[in-house]
Amino acid sequence: MPLHPEYETLLKQMAEVGGPNLSDMPVDQGREMYRMMQPENPALVVGSVHDQKIPGPAGDIPIRIYTPNGDGPFPIVLMFHGGGWVIGDLVTADAQSREVCRGAEAIVISVDYRLAPEHKFPAAADDCFAALKWAHENVEDFGGDSNRLAVAGDSAGGNLSAVVAQMAKEAGPILRFQLLIYPVTDGSRFDTESYIANAEGYMLTLDSMRWFWDLYADAEQRMDPRASPLLANDLSGLPPALVMTAEYDPLRDEGEAYGARLAEAGVTVETIRFDGFIHGFFAQTQTVSATRPAMQKACDALKSALN
């Protein structure tokens, strides 16, 4: 399918503005640019928003808790932001967290895990798993239901959701669902058809993915399933999943490969490719109207699984 007209317009506008590639920027500058691209959106009103810090494996982890209107206890969705494990934070995940809180009628706990290169693999995965365990053990503090837990994330956050689901299979707690949005699943190769066809020109590029991986994990570490969940030997027993990919995304094929392996392992999974879309659509519902049904699909899947 051709690129969606809204994305044609968006990419043309970005090309006209110009500017350096992310992989050519200092990390701090890249983080600030990402915050400008994905700002907070308090206009998406939820019942309450609360920031706090929780204990982590190497110090406190900042989190932001979004609670829907109504009476709890509510199901809980752990939200892990995208940004290649290098950029992104509570600000950049704010809009999607609010949308999921409203649409899924669930408490969303957004996790500000440690970033590379200051904190390389497996720091991000360890923080995200610690946040899941904290949520399960402290539900009485925020009105959650420990029997209705899910993980969700986009891009690197999708990677961390898949990884945390694998970790929880071994050590608990029990998850009801995993929402994997254009997830990174394999750092061992950059030669899939989608990497070749979408290497540049669609916001996320091959060069930027190499840059992210180089800052996050070395070649040997990328063979670890906690970095590349597609390389896990056994995917059986994992929670049901929705895997969402974009046609014009370097990560399309590895996300769909993960969905296929889940299905082969007997996991209930739905894998959907959004034709005409590019990487990042989950965070663009306020600027690219065509992406709104994708957000609705994600929220409906979470709501169904958690209720």
Q: How confident is the model at residue 19 (pLDDT cuts 50, 70, 90)?
A: confident
Domain ranges of the chain: 5-306
Cβ atoms within 10 A of the Cβ of 260, count?
A: 14
Pick the catalytic residue: 4, 81, 136, 279?
279
Pick the catalytic residue: 97, 110, 155, 194?
155
161 is catalytic: no
pLDDT digits (tens, 9 = 90+) for 113-171: 999 999 999 999 999 999 999 999 999 999 999 999 999 999 999 999 999 999 999 99
pTM for this predicted structure:
0.98
**Cα-Cα-Cα-Cα dihedral sign, residues 183, 189, 195, 201:** positive
Beta strands 48-56; 59-67: pairing state:
antiparallel
pLDDT digits (tens, 9 = 90+) for 160-205: 999 999 999 999 999 999 999 999 999 999 999 999 999 999 999 9
Q: How confident is the model at residue 20 (pLDDT cuts 50, 70, 90)?
A: confident
pLDDT at position 14 over 90: no
* pLDDT for the residue 160: 99
Which residue from 278, 294, 61, 84 is spatially nearest to 179, judged by alpha carbons? 294
* pLDDT for the residue 16: 86
Pick the catalytic residue: 94, 186, 249, 253?
249
Length of the chain as a residue count: 307
Alpha carbon distance 162, 187 (integer Å): 14
Which residue from 123, 131, 129, 130 is spatially nearest to 217, judged by alpha carbons? 123
279 is catalytic: yes
SS3 assignment for 81-108: CCCCCCCCCCCCCHHHHHHHHHHHCCEE
Q: How confident is the model at residue 237 (pLDDT cuts 50, 70, 90)?
A: very high
* φ/ψ of residue 233, rounded to 5: -70, -35
Sheet holding 48-56, edge to edge: 48-56, 59-67, 107-111, 74-80, 144-154, 177-181, 241-248, 269-278
155 is catalytic: yes
* pLDDT for the residue 21: 83
CB 97 within 8 A of CB 105: no
Cβ atoms within 10 A of the Cβ of 11, count?
A: 16
CATH code given to domain 5-306: 3.40.50.1820
The conformation of residue 182, written as its DSSP 8-state character, comes to: S
Host H or E run for residue 51: strand 48-56
